[in-house]
Structures are given as structure tokens and as C-alpha cells.
Amino acid sequence: MPSLPSLSSAPPTSAFAELPVIAPVATPPVQFLDRDHSILAFNERVLDWAKRADVPLLERLRFLCIVSSNLDEFFEVRAAPHLTAEQGNEQKGLYTKASFKALSAVAHDMVARQYALYNDELLPEFARRGIRIISHGERDADQRRWVKSYFEREVRPLLIPVGLDPSHPFPQVANKSLNFIVRLSGLDAFGRENEIAIVKVPRVLPRFIAMPAQGSGKGMLFLSLSSVIRAHLAELFPGRVVEQFSQFRVTRHSDLAVDEDDVQNLRTALRQGLEQRHYGQAVRLEVSSSCSEYLSGFLLQQFNLPALSLYRVHGPVNLVRLTQLVDLVDDPKLFFPVYSACYPTQLLHGQSFFERLKQGDVSIHQPFESFDGVLAFLREAVHDPQVLAIKQTIYRTGSDSELMVLLREAVRQGKEVTVVVELKARFDEEANINWAEMLESIGAQVVYGVVGLKTHAKMLLVTRREGRNLVRYAHVSTGNYNPRTARLYTDVSYLTASAPLTADIHNVFVHLASQSRLPKLNQLLLAPFQLQRKLIEKIDALGEAAQQGKDSRLVAKMNALTDEGLMLALVRAGQRGVKIDLIVRGACMLPAQVPGVTDNIRVRSVIGRFLEHSRVFYFRCGAEEELYLSSADWMNRNMLRRIELAWPVTDPVIRQRIIDECLVAYLHDGLDAWDLQPDGTYKRVSSDLNARKGDLRHGAQAALMARYSDPQRREK
């Protein structure tokens, strides 16, 4: 990694000056940015990766798919209140007819540019590389015979067209499923003129199919499932004529809402909710660009949607499924070079974690260092006969997780296993319910957290007998107990045997299980109890110090900044002279460098090959500094409606390492960074400016990959 300046010219200290906490003072009015528009702006920055010529072709397609997946989630979670306001006669707070119209305009423009990029740049570039997705009109006779055989063998047996009439009303259409609507002429078998039919496409069918070598000649040819069905659509309606047809896909509101105060069994209530999720309120309708006004109008009426909810697309109605095409192509030149994470540099293969942690704390910077270090810690704990108890929080682990297999093995080995499972982890509810039921069935103690709060903290606590004493060892993290996403998300794992910190973690587990009063904590800051308040106090203390002429600095890295109390505290501190840098990957409602309001606040977003996910908070007054790692973003829900942790990094060497790698490197990123402008737009950092200064353009993630790419330490 290039040599970069520190955030402090003075040597780091482990204490932070006790400064008087001042009462909030009046601040000039600050107009916060719109959260939903900020989310869409984040997706613009992701879309930029799909446009970049320096990105390998299949990775560009992958980023295009990521944008579509993000937009799906945006509509599933954020669109319903705007749509409800549009359909009503009254304004509902932030949600109005105007807000729906404004968001729709941005979303329509983004979708149009996605498909233009796909059709005008990516597909021609694929063709130049010998990769083609061929439509029915482009297929020769041999290829059409193969496609017909495939249709008859693999597809047609699973299709059941539904003709609409009084006894066959419009069928239930699942969220984000692929369907065809068909307008027919002629009479049905009973002599009736029912003209509309619906063909549901089963999700078990692959959306892209590779042509066999003998049918593809040179290069690689692929078929979309929709083109296969489209070519043989008429065969599903013998005796009728297909006059019009279109693919369509409906997106539904999918954020589960369960009244936890009114249910006897949250797990049962969530299972029932999951059954209904696929058929919630419709919020978006996608159709082919060639869809007739008659068919699109019919669908809008069926789903009770206004015209602005209709998206006509020039290509597959679900770009997300193009990830299947990425998996079908085997050409390393079209992907990023393979990155093999090194084994954590503070650890040695085969060394006992318990012996190592007696020497001091360990940090792991994922995915540059391997998550296997965390798995190895749990693995040793499971198989160590001196380990008596293991406690862990589960938020997202995935449906196939080695971590959960290890916990199951720990139960079988007679250890006391307590697992706090968050059943309401969005879109992971079913997997978490299944894991909870499995662990309960073999004797683990399963806790579902606190009613009304999501348990988002990442904690793993091991209790071990050592002589006459019981000694605790812990792992806490800024995120991620999912081995798959741990290879894709940047996070900081922290392993410790610190008695004050492990005692705090133990008390949090007891609190979650028993819901007894939480004792005073030694080092942890815990939401929803004091995390927000303590952060505001620290920000205000820096403001007071700056007002007294002391050099004060605040740098915070997070995924989102939308909490009003924290944003107002930042504005106050900046106006008193604190230099503030915020590295916010996604939504940020705090405007930066607005004259007279936020002159001392800079906001930067870094979008890289890996998803930025670590939360790091740095406070400095003179030569004294504090560094916290956290599971929490600076959002109201994280501060007041979730169980979240923040903990201090007291080891000066580890602290400086995290400052250098998670903060300084990102503040000097000249490749993948975007700076928030006073008007709320983002501007990509100019490489030309860097060149004029004589600096080499670099990205923080690329520099970190280079730092940890030592082949001698790669993951085994």
C-alpha cells in the first residue's frame, strides 16, 4: 500500500481526554437530504462499475445485476408508502403524490440507462468475445430443432396456461416471478371468446441455457428461457391464434410486518408471514418494451397500479437472472483476477487461539484476510474438552453454513450452547427459523432476542476451564457470520481475552436471554441503551474542545447516515471547528460543505470490488484518540430499535493498523471514491487532479489486496 499520512501527527494514546459535555446549542437550519433519493444515488455509483472499461466484462455484467437486485429490494421495502400516498387523497408525512412522482422519474431513468448499457455496450462486447445470446430469429434450422427438443423435454411439461373467465379469475402471481400474458383470437374448446391467458414460468427452470458445442459452432451461444417459451408460445394454445403477448414481472411489498406485542409465538407468526410475503401489495410492473397498451393496461388494472408503476424494458424483465450467464461462462480473462485471502497475519496455522489471545488481542481485516480465522477459533472451541460453553448471535449465516454445523457439533459434544437467533433478519427469516428449529431439536438453548428489537450485534463468547478458573474468550465483529459473504464484504473481526470486554459480552448475552436489567458495562456501548447518547456526547465534547482552540478530528466509516440526532451533533461540532470526514458507502442524509452550515464536514463514498461494510469511529483531541468498532450504522433504527455493539480498540498497534487501513486509505482513494457535493450529488474523485499532483492513482481495496497477497500466508 502506498505510504499515507496518519490522521494524527502525534503518537497515539490509549486514553481520551475527559472534556465537559456541553448542552446542545442552536444550529443554523440544515436541510437534510432525502433518504430514498440517496439510496438511488448509491445505486448510480454501483452502476458506474458496470460502465467502466477498466473492469472485466463479466464483472461489468455482475455489477449491472447487482444494481437490479438493489432496485428490487428498494421497491420491495421502500416503495409502498409512496405508492399508497399517490393512490390516496391525503399527504402522509414524507410520502406524497409528488414524492412518488419524483422517485418514479429517477427510477425510470436509471432502468432505461441500465438496459441501454446492456444492449448497446455489453452485448456487442460479448459478441466480440464470441459470446452471444441468440433470439429465435437468429437461430439456424439445426439450432431451432435443438431448442424445440429442449422445450418439449424440459419446459413444456411444467407449463400450465390459464385462460381467464369467470371461473378462472386472474391467478395469484408471485413476487418477482416470470410470467407471460397472451391475447388470443378464436374460440376456446367450449366455444367462448375469452381472450386473455396467463402462463406462469416455474422458478425451477434455468433462465439461461448453454447451446451444445455442435449447435454453437465457434464461440459460446446461450438462450434465454423467455425466448425459448416465446418461440413456442402458440403451441400452448392449439386452435387459437396468439395476437399479442408479453413477458411480465410484478414486484410486491415484501417487508414483513408482525405485531410482536400481539403474538404468542413469534416464530410461528413469521412462518405464516413468509407464506404471504410473495403475494403482498404490488408496487412495480415490468413488461417487455413491445407490450401492447391493451395488455399493459389490463395488467395495471389487475394489480391496481398507476401508470408510473409500469416499466417497459428492452430485454429480460429480470436482469438479476443474468448472473446465471456469468456462472455459465468459463473464461478467466473476463473476470477479476482471483484473489486468495491470506490467513490472518496475527495468527499462525496450528497455534492455539487460547494461547495466542493470552498474549493480546487479534484483529482480522476481511476479506483481505480470511474469515477462516474466525471459523478456526470456533472449531478449536468446539473440539476443546476444556471449553464448557459457547454463546453466539445469529443474524445472517446463509442456508448452508459451516458455522452452524460447528454449533451443532458443540451440542453433540455436550457443551452448553446458547444461540441468539434474529428471526426478523430481512429476507433471511426462513433460513434462521430453520437453523433455530434444528438447534432446539438437539438441545441447544435458542433465544429470539428482545421483543421489538432486532439483534444485529455480532458476538461469539467461549467459556473455558483453566485450572480452577473459568476464562472467557470472545469474537466480535462489524458484521458477518456468513462464510460466503465474508469473502465479499469488508469487515473487521476482533478476537479478545480481555476480562472487562468479555465480561460485558457475557452480560449482554444474559440480558438477551433473561431480559433482566443490564448491569453497568465496562467498555461496550450498547444500543438501544446508550450507544446513540454516548456517540453524541463524544461528538459534542470534540466540539467543545475545538471551540477552546484544541485540534479536534472526527472520522467515521459506516454504511448509512440517516439518524437525525447524530447528524445534528455532527453539524454542531463542525461549526465549532472540528474537522470531520465521513466515509459513508450508501444513503447519507447529511449534506456536506454547505456554506455556513457544514463547511468542515466532508462526505465520501467508496464503491469497490468488495462491498464496504465495516463501521469504524475515530475521535481525536490533540494527541489523545479513541477508536471504536461497531456493528451499527448511524441510523435511527440501529440506535433505537436494534441490539448493536460498539467497542473500543485499546491496543495501540491494532488501533493504528485499523486507522491506516480502514480510514486513511479510504480518505486517499483516488480511484473508487465519490465525494458528496453541497447540492446532494456525488462527484467521482478526479484522477486528472491526482495526476497533476504527481500522485499515483490507487484504490484503497486494490492497495489492501496487494498488502495481503503474500502467497506464503494465503488461505489453506
| Average pLDDT of the residues in 78-92 | 76
| Average pLDDT of the residues in 411-423 | 88
| Average pLDDT of the residues in 269-296 | 78
Give the CATH fold of the 353-523 domain: Endonuclease; Chain A (3.30.870)
Does residue 256 surpass a pLDDT of 60? no
Residue 411 and residue 421: Cα distance in Å, rounded? Answer: 16
Residue 454 and residue 604: Cα distance in Å, rounded? Answer: 28
Q: What is the pLDDT of residues 580-591, one digit of tens each?
A: 999 999 999 999
Q: What is the pLDDT of residues 448-468, one digit of tens each?
A: 767 678 888 999 999 999 999
Residue 674 and residue 42: Cα distance in Å, rounded? Answer: 10
When pLDDT is cut at 50, 70 and 90, the band that residue 7 belongs to is low
Q: What is the pLDDT of residues 598-608, one digit of tens each?
A: 999 999 999 99
When pLDDT is cut at 50, 70 and 90, the band that residue 17 belongs to is very low
Residue 494 and residue 365: Cα distance in Å, rounded? Answer: 9
Beta 196-200 vs 179-185: how paired, if at all?
antiparallel
Per DSSP, the residues of 503-526 read HHHHHHHHHHHH-PPPPPPSS-EE
- 433 or 245: which leads in pLDDT: 245
Q: Identify the three-state secondary structure at position 544.
A: helix
Q: Answer yes or no: are the C-beta atoms of 505 and 474 closer than 8 Å.
A: yes
Q: Domain residue spans in the chain? A: 50-334, 353-523, 527-713
pLDDT of amino acid 263: 41
Domains 353-523 and 527-713 share a fold: yes
pLDDT of amino acid 169: 84
What does DSSP assign to residue 468? T
Does residue 201 surpass a pLDDT of 80? yes
pLDDT of amino acid 88: 73
Average pLDDT, the chain: 87
pLDDT of amino acid 40: 96
pLDDT of amino acid 180: 96
pTM here is 0.89
Q: Which class is 527-713 in CATH?
A: alpha beta
* Residue with cell string 404471504: 276
Q: What is the pLDDT of residues 109-163, one digit of tens each?
A: 999 999 999 999 999 999 999 999 998 889 999 999 999 999 999 999 999 999 8
Beta 611-612 vs 525-527: how paired, if at all?
unpaired
Beta 458-466 vs 387-394: how paired, if at all?
antiparallel
Residues noted as catalytic: 456
Domain 50-334 carries which CATH code? 3.30.1840.10
Residue 151 and residue 153: Cα distance in Å, rounded? Answer: 6
| Nearest to 543, CA basis, from 5, 27, 15 | 27
Q: Mark out the alpha helices in 232-292 (DSSP H runs).
A: 266-277
pLDDT of amino acid 714: 47
pLDDT of amino acid 4: 42
Does residue 266 surpass a pLDDT of 80? no
Q: What is the pLDDT of residues 40-49, one digit of tens each?
A: 999 999 999 9
pLDDT of amino acid 212: 86
Max avg pLDDT among 433-437, 453-457, 542-546, 694-698 = 542-546
